[in-house]
Structure 1
């Protein structure tokens, strides 16, 4: 005779796995579209008459807006609980990418590029909240790790699509139009996912039990750690600039370094996702380590050492985004999760913007200055982690006596 409660748990687990895979597939296709376009938007804007300064301004503004808006969209998701509507609206703005094929001026292309980044800001908090419910029964780290791995597969395939289009046609328009095919796939997968689990919150029956970040005393140290950890994490455009400026490798090989880093991030997302389920937020301590290792290796003049730095950078991406999202899901109640996701994403993006700007300026001074900056910032990140760990112990003790800080 079967156990009804066991059958119910198994059904919930099966639905959760299906939802994670469907959202992972949607992210794979969406990442294919966005990263395919982003791999060539710089030269495309130059082709349309924009200057290098315009390229930098558009890229910087797009990324900043894409992260800063997440605080507002996360708050809306948290209040309205319209997860699917918001997520699908955000993915819908990917339609800006195929339209780049008919952008006759760089100003029009700039509007479309920024619109796609706004779409990212709209969909991310809603999508991550849906995933947080689905990962309850399969493991937070593993669920987010699988999703991140699928997302990164799209990040590798997208640029290859554009390379093939350029090689065959010599122009960008065909590539942008080809990206409309996976965009149609995104819509179909999302509709299937919504019909499969129309109310994702039901997958997390208890509504989330931990409230470590639902109060300001628990959130501040976490936000400080994320800010410092990300402010010391170099971006790949600066690494690729170094590779070209110092003539370390041929230009055509640089995308292969990036692709290799993305492949590493796929594997690392799965491995460290599973590690998160075993040791929890201690996985976050590897972030300062990989940030420091990356900066020590990636700016070498030796091609072998430089690629090792690029691979360390890819590993850091896989760890950061997997453990960050899993730790939020593990440490917040469902009612506040959308808002926390949005706020943390805004902190993440602001830190990356600030850190990238600082390291870009320091590169013109000396690589040694960048190394010193990263070492200091990541040491501060470790101190912030210890602050965060202590605050969580305090919150749990207070929970035990029924005196949780409001």
Structure 2
């Protein structure tokens, strides 16, 4: 049960006298994401090796698949956010997206070439694109405005627990039966379908502020790309353009240290553990000192990842440091970006505003993956990482200017506090 408490003239609401609590909807959506990420990270953790060692694809082909993984979801993010806002049924839009991703796990059983694997990855990412903005809109709508960063941090922590468990499950299965990728795909599908069951059966259909009647998609698009969002969107897109995909970073570490293939999935575990430990603290820090500062600080950590991954010093300590810094980057950016965007968007366009930011990021990462695969072939992994690091440093300086004052304009809506009774 939820109680919405508004400030009253001449007095303070009950919510103002105590620290905001995390809504049940946030926790339930976190559990759905936990189960789904166990599934997706089981596949993602073994996919680079499966493609390069088992299927026999080259680094450039992997860059194409990784680009699809990063960018295809952009095709439906704006649509998912808009449909969630327009229909006022964000839960069911998100549930369809989770279901599409679950079905794609079954497709891995028959995908044994570049075309088939690309189709399966495309289906999975379309599902992610459809569900992400409606889900984040439900998180934002059910959270106290003072604790947006903390709420997204709680959700991302649960999400990342699943992302840490998934590679360990895949590692254990391949350790027991080397090369048995089909078993990984089957178990992955099982976790995904349980996640779909949880959102359908247990997550309340918490309605967001609906799009006003007669409001066209074009009008809504103009609103979410207006002056309040334009500079943050440009900054997020530029920074994402120089964000190297995790798979490339892990392949670089494996080649540098001549790591045995069976240990490859554990690299995903390391970065995800760092992420889950830091997601809530960084969410709270963002609420306290400013979301733009934490967001930019995360990209400083990413710059350090490139320097240590490409540096001459290998070994276990260097790998652990890279994984820790990579988790720091995700903890400081993944949940902080929607928390940064939410106050800049009117309540009736919340899902669409979050989707706009996420679309810019995934499109930029799609281009980044394709470009980095080519740079790897031309320059080698070390020089490619140093080059991207230099470009990221220059972009950080520009982004400081672009994001200046981006938290100064609140959304035109009444502040609400929501607690679980």
Structure-2-length-normalised TM-score? 0.80
Would you say the 8 A contact 2:100–2:124 is kept in 1? yes
Partner deviation per Cα, 1:257-287 (whole Å, 9 max, x = no partner): 3311110011121110010111222222203
Equivalent residues of 1:70, 1:342 under 8 A apart:
yes
**Displacement of 1:373:** 3.8
**Secondary structure in 1 matching 2:23:** helix
The change in CA–CA distance for 1:252 and 1:89 in structure 2 (over 3 A counts) is: same
Greater fraction of residues in helix: 1
Structure 2 unaligned blocks of 5 or more: 7-12, 211-222, 413-421
For the aligned residue pairs, the C-alpha RMSD in angstroms reads 3.2
What CA distance in whole angstroms lies between the structure 1 residues aligned with 2:225 and 2:55? 49
State the alpha-carbon separation in 2 of the partners of residues 283 and 218 from structure 1: 19
Match in the other structure for 2:321: 308
The match for 1:69 among 67, 76, 81 is: 76
Alignment partner, residue 187 of structure 1: 196
Deviation at 1:104, TM superposition (A): 6.1
Equivalent position of 2:404 in the other structure: 389
Shift of 1:55: 4.5
Checking the alignment, whether the CA contact within 8 Å between 2:27 and 2:155 is kept in structure 1 is yes
Which ranges in structure 1 are unaligned for 5 or more consecutive residues?
203-212, 400-406
Please say if 1:121 is aligned against 2:135: no
1:140 pairs with one of 135, 148, 156? 148
Deviations 1:100-153 (A, max 9, x none): 364164344442332111100110111111111122267101100011111111
Contact 1:128/1:325 (<8 A) preserved: yes
In the other structure, the counterpart of 1:284 is 295
Aligned to 2:28: 22
C-alpha distance in 1, partners of 2:331/2:47? 24
Residues 1:311 and 1:177: Cα distance change in structure 2 (over 3 Å): same
The aligned length equals 381
Q: After the TM superposition, which residues 7-406 of structure 1 pair with which residues of structure 2 at under 5 Å, given as runs?
A: 17-44=23-50, 51-52=57-58, 54-100=61-107, 102-103=109-110, 105-106=112-113, 107-136=115-144, 139-170=147-178, 171-195=180-204, 197-201=205-209, 214=224, 216-281=226-291, 282-301=293-312, 302-303=314-315, 304-363=317-376, 364-365=378-379, 367-368=382-383, 370-390=385-405, 393=408
2:375 & 2:192 partners in 1: Cα distance? 39
Native 8 Å contact 1:69 1:118 kept in 2: yes
Higher normalized contact order (CA 8 Å, seq sep 6+, divided by chain length): 2
Distance in 2 (alpha carbons) for counterparts of 1:152 and 1:332: 27
Task: From the superposition, tell whether residues 354 and 270 of structure 1 become closer, same or farther in structure 2 (CA, over 3 Å).
Answer: same
Moved more, 230-239 or 345-354: 230-239
Tell me the SS of whatever aligns to 2:72. helix
Whole-angstrom CA distance in 1 between matches of 2:66 and 2:394? 29
Q: How many angstroms apart in 2 are the aligned matches of 1:71 and 1:351?
A: 15
What is the TM-score of this pair, normalised by structure 1?
0.82
The 1:15–1:192 alpha-carbon spacing in structure 2 relative to 1, beyond 3 Å, is farther
Residue 241 of structure 1 deviates from its aligned partner by 2.3
CA contact (8 A) 1:328 1:341 kept: yes
| Deviates most, 280-289 or 322-331 | 280-289
**Following TM superposition, by how much is the alpha carbon of 1:249 offset from its aligned partner in structure 2, in angstroms?**
3.8
3-state DSSP of counterpart to 2:103: helix
